[in-house]
Every structure is written in C-alpha cells, then in structure tokens.
C-alpha cells in the first residue's frame, strides 16, 4: 500500500462564526461542531474550550486525544468500522491537521484518566502540552454505567475529529510524506541485502475499560494478524482505554505511532521494514498462550531477522510481552522490547512483573512511579478533584495551595512507549 500523508500545520485554534482553516489557523463554529457530535442519550451536556501551548491551563481527567484526519483519495474513510464504513484503508491520500488535537474530558469514567498541563513541570512529560488542543467537556447523565459512559465520550471525540478533518479535504498540504509497504514478496526482494524487520504491536485488550478497537472490532475478540503500517495511519486502530494515562496509547498515538514512523524513516537505508503484526494482551493464561504462539508463528512466516515489540499497559501485560519475546527469540529472530517500568517510588522494585533472559535488548520509557510536583495553574478544564483518585495520585495529591504531588503515571502520554526512538538498540 502507498499512502501520501498531507500535513496541514495548525498554529492556533479560535472560535468563530464559520468553521474553516485559513493561514494556519483553525476556526471553529461551536454550534456546527455541537451538531456534529451531539445525539447520544448518555451525554447530558457538551461544552468546548481551547488550551494552547504555554498557557497556564490544566486539563483533567483526560479520556482520549485524537488528531483530525480526512481521506482525500483512495478507499475507505478515517476510523473505519467506528465512524466510517468498514472498508480497508491505508492507501491513496490522507490529510492530517498537525500541531493540534481533540481532547475529551468531563466527569471521570474509570480511575485512570490523566492530566495534561500546558505549562510548568507537568508539561515536560506530555507531548500534548505542545499541541493546540480543542477540549470537549462531556458530562454524562446521572447513574450512567461506566462502559456506556466511556463509549459515549469516545465517539464524541471521533465525531469531532472527523468534522474538523473534513475542513482540510480540499486544502493543499504544507508538507507531504509518502509511506509505502509493498506485498511481502515484492518488499523482501526490493532490499535483499538489508536486515528484514517487522513490528509487533501489542494492544491493550483486557476488558473492563481496557479496550482497543481494530476496524471497529474489540481487540480481545481477534487473533494476531498482519496489518499494513499505513492502515494504522488511517485510523484502523483506535483507543477505548482507561488504563494508566502515562502508558496507554491514545488514538493520537496510534495515528502517529513513533515506531512505525522511525522504521519507515530508515526503510531502504538500514532496514527492510516488511510490516506490522498486531496482537492482543489477555487476562487468562490460555489466551496468552494462543496469542503469543500466533504472534511468533506470524513473525516467522514473514521471514524477518528481527522485530521491535512494544507493550501497552503494565503488570499483567508484562507476561504477554515476555511470552512474545521468548517465543520469537526461540525461532531464531532477535527482539528489542519497548516498555516502561513500575519500579516503585525509590526505583528499587522489580521493574516488570515478568522477565526472561531472552529479553536482553530493552528500551525503557522510564519509571512511571517517579513522583513529580505540579504547580498551581490559573485555569482548570474538567474536574480538578479527580487528581486524588486517578492512578498515580492519592487522597493527599491535591494540596491546599493548589499544587499537586503525583506519580508521572498520572500524566497523559508521560512514558508512552510508541513515541520513543528505540532504533539505537541493535537488532541484528
């Protein structure tokens, strides 16, 4: 598949009488956007706000972050099986609004939503302090079940991103990047002298608000399979997760997967990037065995020399990570794993819940238990009281003076593993 990704850089967002993109500014008509995202009986009210880099603004609790994109040419629509029809995507032309994001917030869904600070110490740990954010505050009806609440807010975010993306359909991109992965036999023969590398993309799919969707299908319902990397850029994978904010992959990260982008950047130079194997993270041992067996089988079928394996989440999924690594290494294929760690506040605890000697090439996103101090900020979008409840916080996190003491796991995207450059770890 060949995808031309057109990048339209957004330097500011403003509310206006009409929705349009002009001279790098995204103008948003609130009434039109509200019409586009409304209609779910589970949502009592929807409001919009804007948070810009450097402003004294804190957004919490953050549910999801989404980058607006639109199909310009080629089959399918963005977010197939969720918003668009279930057509195969990943080829043709797609435009993306870069430098901005849609952020959903409101009354807390689970207990692991996070914080985005647009300035101060917290801003150092989240990539979304650097984006112009259109924030959607969704308040649920009373006594709503958590899974209905999560689904309703998730769809509001996708509808908003789709509406905004459509504004860019007829625009000429500021910059265009071409990504191409050919059918397997063609791809292998194109660069016969380079090491063949694949990416094993582990998706959080343990249920109970720990969900990821592939073409609209709950990931725990699938067995490992192949995807063209460009399918992921068109929204074939989206987040439904309420796991710890620091190490879940918001939809924005799926669309902008750093491992995929880095492998493409070195494709044809240092590596022959042959494709992606997606696999799920399971609760029961039998399911873990099945998925890790299939993952190793598919990687071997590709005939690659090495793989990058990234994990989403921590604790129980550490076992999926190590099982994948051990079985792939057992087939003579080298692995580099990309993960974060939960080593305790003093850094002295076991970093991963599972381990094996074959997992000897590791790139870490850091210790999610590290404690940081967040200053009082002038404006809160959402509900500040939740910082005492979310993962990484405690009943004493919010101080009387407005400052906050939390572990970095409370920061959205703080140790997100798919955004790090892992390629310095030799894989062949």
Please identify every residue annotated as catalytic: 242
Contact 5, 176 (CB under 8 A): yes
pLDDT single digits (tens) 172-190: 999 999 999 999 999 999 9
CA 298, 302, 306, 312 torsion-angle sign: negative
Q: Residue 416 above 80 pLDDT?
A: no
Share the mean pLDDT of the chain.
94
Q: Could you tell me the two tokens for 159?
A: 């509808």
pLDDT on residue 243: 81
In this predicted structure, which of 135-144, 377-386, 417-426 has the lowest mean pLDDT? Answer: 417-426
In this predicted structure, which of 135-149, 155-169, 404-418 has the lowest mean pLDDT? Answer: 404-418
pLDDT on residue 418: 54
Of 427 and 28, the one with more pLDDT: 28
Average pLDDT over residues 232-256: 93
Q: Residue 5 above 60 pLDDT?
A: yes
Q: Residue 259 above 60 pLDDT?
A: yes
pLDDT on residue 417: 52
pLDDT on residue 422: 40
pLDDT single digits (tens) 51-86: 999 999 999 999 999 999 999 999 999 999 999 899
Contact 219, 225 (CB under 8 A): no
**Pick from 315, 331, 332: nearest CA to 391:** 315
Residues of the chain above pLDDT 90, percent: 87
């Amino acid at each position: 598949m060949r995808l031309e990704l057109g990048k339209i850089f957004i330097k500011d967002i403003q509310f206006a009488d009409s929705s349009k993109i002009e001279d790098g500014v995204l103008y948003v008509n609130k009434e039109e956007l509200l019409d586009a995202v409304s209609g779910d009986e589970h949502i009592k009210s929807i409001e919009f706000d804007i948070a810009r880099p450097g402003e004294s603004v804190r957004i919490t609790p953050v549910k999801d972050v989404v980058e607006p994109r639109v199909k310009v040419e080629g089959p399918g629509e963005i977010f197939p099986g969720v918003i668009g029809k279930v057509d195969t995507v990943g080829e043709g032309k797609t435009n993306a609004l870069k430098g901005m994001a849609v952020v959903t917030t409101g009354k807390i869904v689970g207990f692991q939503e996070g914080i985005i600070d647009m300035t101060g110490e917290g801003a150092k740990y989240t990539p979304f302090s650097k984006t112009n954010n259109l924030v959607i505050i969704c308040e649920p009806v009373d006594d709503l079940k958590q899974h209905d609440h999560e689904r309703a807010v998730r769809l509001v975010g996708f509808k908003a991103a789709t509406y905004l993306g459509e504004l860019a359909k007829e625009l000429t991109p500021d910059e265009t990047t071409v990504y191409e992965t050919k059918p397997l036999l063609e791809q292998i023969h194109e660069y016969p002298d380079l090491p063949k590398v694949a990416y094993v993309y582990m998706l959080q799919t343990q249920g109970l608000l720990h969900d990821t969707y592939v073409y609209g299908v709950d990931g725990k319902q699938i067995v490992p399979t192949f995807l063209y990397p460009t399918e992921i850029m068109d929204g074939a994978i989206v987040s439904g997760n309420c796991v710890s904010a620091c190490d879940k992959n918001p939809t924005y990260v799926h669309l902008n997967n750093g491992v995929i982008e880095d492998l493409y950047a070195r494709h044809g130079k240092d590596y022959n990037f042959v494709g992606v194997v997606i696999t799920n993270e399971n609760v029961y041992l039998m399911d873990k065995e099945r998925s890790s067996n299939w993952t190793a089988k598919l990687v071997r079928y590709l005939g690659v020399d090495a793989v990058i394996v990234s994990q989403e989440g921590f604790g129980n999924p550490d076992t999926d990570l190590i099982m994948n690594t051990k079985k792939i290494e057992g087939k003579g294929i080298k692995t580099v794993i990309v993960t974060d760690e939960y080593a305790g506040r003093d850094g002295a605890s076991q970093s991963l819940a599972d381990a094996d000697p074959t997992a000897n090439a590791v790139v870490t996103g850091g210790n999610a238990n590290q404690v940081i101090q967040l200053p009082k900020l002038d404006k809160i979008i959402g509900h500040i009281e939740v910082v005492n409840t979310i993962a990484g916080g405690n009943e004493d996190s919010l101080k009387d003076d407005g400052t906050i003491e939390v572990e970095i796991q409370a920061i959205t995207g703080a140790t997100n593993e798919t955004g790090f450059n892992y390629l310095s770890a030799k894989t062949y």
